[in-house]
Amino acid sequence: MALMSPKLSPQDCGECPIRFQAVCSRTEADELARLEKIKYYRSFQAGQMVIWSGDRMDFVASVVTGIATLTQTMEDGRRQMVGLLLPSDFVGRPGRSTAPYDVMATTDLVMCCFRKKPFEDMMAATPHIAQRLLEMTLDELDAAREWMLLLGRKTAREKIASLLAIFARRYTGLKQLATKGAVAFDLPLTREEMADYLGLTLETVSRQMSALKKDGVIFSEERRHIVVPDFDLLANETGDDTDGGLVG
C-alpha cells in the first residue's frame, strides 16, 4: 500500500520551492542538470508510512512539501519522535542501507528522491553537494541537542510553549512580521504526535494546551488552529533565554 504512491510528472528544478535550501542548493547549473536526471518524486498521503525502521532503504530524499516525522519505538511500545522533517530537510544517509527510524507522513507529502548509489556517485564527484549536506547535518545536530535540553530539563508547560514557538516562528518567517507579535498557524501534529515529540503523554499535552489557553498565551477555537496574540508572551514560557544576550 505504502508503495502505491502516485507518480508525479517530472518537475523542473528551476521551479522547485526548495531549490535554495535543500541539499542541492549549492550546485552549479551543470551539476543540477545531472541531479535532475536521476531524481524522481514520490508522494504520500497524510498518515502513510514512508519507511519502517529496519527496512532496507535504497534511496535518499528531500522533503519538497509537507511534513514527516522520524520516530523511534521501544519493544514495549514507548515512542519518541527524534526529528520533524520540514520542506527542504533531507532523509537518509549515504553509506547506510537500512532505515534507523520510522518515517511517517503527517501531512500530505512530496519527496524528491534519488536512488542511493547514483546519489553517492554524484556526491563523490561534486563537493557542493557534500558541503551542503555537512552543513545541514550540523544544523540538525544542533537542533537535536537543543531538543535534548528540552527533553531532559524542561517542564511540561515549557515543552509545549517551545514547540508552539517553533511553529509560530516558522509561520511568521513566511508570513507577516508586521502584526506586532501576533501569529496564527495550524498545528500539523495531533496531540499524540506532540506528546511523542515532547516526551509527554497526550493527556498532559491536552491539559497544558488548555492551561496556556486559560492564561491567554494562546487562543484557539478550531482545535488545530492556534492564534498567538503576543509572541513574546509565548517566548517567555519556553524557559529559553528571552533576549538573545545582545545589547539593548
Partner DNA sequence: AGCCTGCTTTGATCCTGATCAAGGAAGACG
Partner DNA sequence: CGTCTTCCTTGATCAGGATCAAAGCAGGCT
Interface contacts to a second copy, rule CB under 8 A: 54, 70, 72, 74-76, 78-80, 82-83, 93, 95, 100-101, 127, 130-131, 133-135, 137-138, 140-142, 144-149, 151-153, 198-199, 239-241, 245
φ, ψ (nearest 5 deg) of residue 81 = -75, 135
CA dist 91 and 59 (Å) reads 9
User: Taking CB under 7 A as the rule, which mask of x and - marks residues 141-170 in contact with DNA?
Assistant: --------------xxx-------------
> What would the grid cell of residue 150 be?
528540552
* Residue 130 binding target from a second copy, DNA, none, CB below 5 to 8 Å by type: a second copy
* Residue 74 binding target from DNA, a second copy, none, CB below 5 to 8 Å by type: a second copy
191-216: b or e for each residue (b if 16 or more CB lie within 10 Å)? bebbbbbbbbeeebbbebbeebeeee
* Residue 83 binding target from a second copy, DNA, none, CB below 5 to 8 Å by type: a second copy
**Binding to DNA by residue 111, rule CB under 7 A?**
no
Q: Which of 187, 175, 168 is closest to 232 using CA atoms?
A: 168
Residue (4 or 178) nearer to DNA, CB: 4
Angle at 86 between CA 31 and CA 116, to 5 degrees: 45
Considering only 135, 192, 215, 232, the residue that binds DNA (CB under 7 A) is 192
For the CB of residue 71, give the shortest distance to a second copy in the complex, in Å: 10
CA dist 147 and 67 (Å) reads 18
With beta carbons less than 8 A apart as the criterion, state whether 56 and 92 touch.
no
Q: Collapsing DSSP states into helix, strand and coil, what is residue 81?
A: strand
Q: Which of residues 212-241 bind DNA (CB under 7 A)?
A: 223-224
Binding region for DNA (CB under 7 A) out of 2-10, 25-33, 109-117, 186-194 = 186-194
Question: Can you tell me which residue has the cell 499535552?
Answer: 205
CA dist 211 and 205 (Å) reads 10
Considering only 190, 229, 233, 239, the residue that binds DNA (CB under 7 A) is 190
> What would the grid cell of residue 246 be?
545582545
For the CB of residue 9, give the shortest distance to a second copy in the complex, in Å: 33
Binding footprint of DNA on the chain (CB under 7 A): 47, 155-157, 187, 190-192, 199-207, 209-210, 223-224
